[in-house]
Amino acid sequence: MSPFLTKNKQGSADEEVLSPGKIVWKRFRRNKVAMVGAIVLLVLVVLAILAPVLATHERDAIELGSREQSPSSEHLMGTDRQGRDLFTRVLYGGRISLSVGIVASSLQMVIGVIMGCLAGYFGRWVDTLIMRITDMFISFPFLALAITAAAILGPSIYNTMLIIGFLSWTETCRLVRGQFLSIKQMEYIEAAKASGLTEFRIIWRHMLPNSMAPILISATLIMASAILVEAALSYLGLGVQAPMPSWGNILEPARSMTVLMRMWWLWLPPGLLIFISVLSINLVGDGLRDALDPRLKN
């Protein structure tokens, strides 16, 4: 008999025993709103990957005779102030914005998890030192600190990733620290210490896996925040620099009231895509939160 089947009282094998991963997927799939968010996010990622194939013009091709044209059969989303095709630039901009979100959130997750593990496991002066550093970062307004760092380091896609990653790890650190302080009191951790396992092995094999549920949920929210911060910095001219497009710097002409009132095609598509991507990521995060909740029935 298959090990994934159990017997009822009559001895028939009719109930499948699901693995934890399958249980999470089953719960997530039942959440229709989260599934819609996941599908929309997947579509955006596919469009960004296939940008070279779907683009109708060269990304940086300037046509001064076609400046600020409204959408047409030739230019599906119109053209910008340099006559560049906005549909093409929005596709490539998705590549940059989503890449910045993924890389920056991954960087801050690595920093936050490491710092949180150290603070939660070792405690005492290690915990005090890390928490004081965390409090110092939290005491400054994040966007103001990011703008200052961008002005000092200079605007570029790599500096934007580094700035977001190195300035936004505090929430993850506090989350992981709280999880570790709770898990450290469990009997199986005491048994692992008594058996002679190294501290690294206890953290990596026993404590961190049991803290992954809130970390994964936090990661989705942090990615959404990273996309918004990149858009804000690029909109202000302190993030990704032209001619490299991102959804943030494509929005830059919207600082003009004339553009806002009369040239909606210059700002509506990238603004709408930022909104849709952030909303989709948040919906996926909410779905993961419900799917990973141990209190829910299968």
Task: Render pLDDT for 55-64 as a digit per residue (tens, 0 to 9).
Answer: 888 888 888 8
Reported as a single tens digit per residue, the pLDDT across 105-128 is: 899 999 999 999 888 888 888 889
DSSP 252: G
User: What is the pLDDT at residue 107?
Assistant: 92
CATH code of the domain covering residue 190? 1.10.3720.10
- How far is 247 from 272, CA to CA, in rounded Å? 10
Residue 238 lies in a domain: yes
Residue 9 lies inside a defined structural domain of this protein: no
Residue 70 lies in a domain: no
The answer to whether the bond into 20 is cis (omega within 30° of 0) is no
Q: Is residue 18 part of a domain?
A: no
In a domain, 222, yes or no: yes
If one counts the domains in the chain, the total is 1
pLDDT by position in tens, the chain (length 298): 444 444 444 444 444 566 767 787 888 888 889 899 999 999 999 999 999 999 888 888 888 878 888 888 888 888 888 888 899 999 999 999 999 989 998 999 999 999 998 888 888 888 899 999 999 888 888 888 888 888 888 888 899 899 998 888 888 899 888 888 888 878 877 787 777 777 788 888 778 887 888 888 888 888 888 999 999 888 888 888 888 888 988 888 888 788 888 888 888 899 999 999 999 999 998 888 878 766 666 5
Q: Which amino acid makes up residue 259?
A: V
Best CA proximity match to 281, nearest among 213, 226, 214, 236: 226
**How many whole angstroms separate alpha carbon 195 and alpha carbon 22?**
32
Residue 118's SS3 state is: helix
The set of residues, in sequence order, having a beta carbon less than 8 Å from that of 260 and lying 6+ positions away, is: 254, 267
Tell me the residue type at 236.
L
Structure tokens at 86: 């906005």
Task: Identify whether the C-beta of residue 72 lies closer than 8 Å to the C-beta of residue 78.
Answer: yes
What is the rounded end-to-end Cα distance, in angstroms, of the chain? 23
Residue 88 belongs to what domain range? 28-58+84-291
Report which of 226, 231, 242 is spatially closest to residue 267, judged by C-alpha positions.
231
Distance CA 172, CA 161 (A): 17
- pLDDT tens digits, one per residue of 128-183: 999 999 998 888 888 888 888 888 888 888 998 999 988 888 888 998 888 888 88
Given CA atoms 60, 62, 63, 64 in this order, what sign does their dihedral have? Answer: positive
Could you tell me if residue 34 is inside a domain?
yes
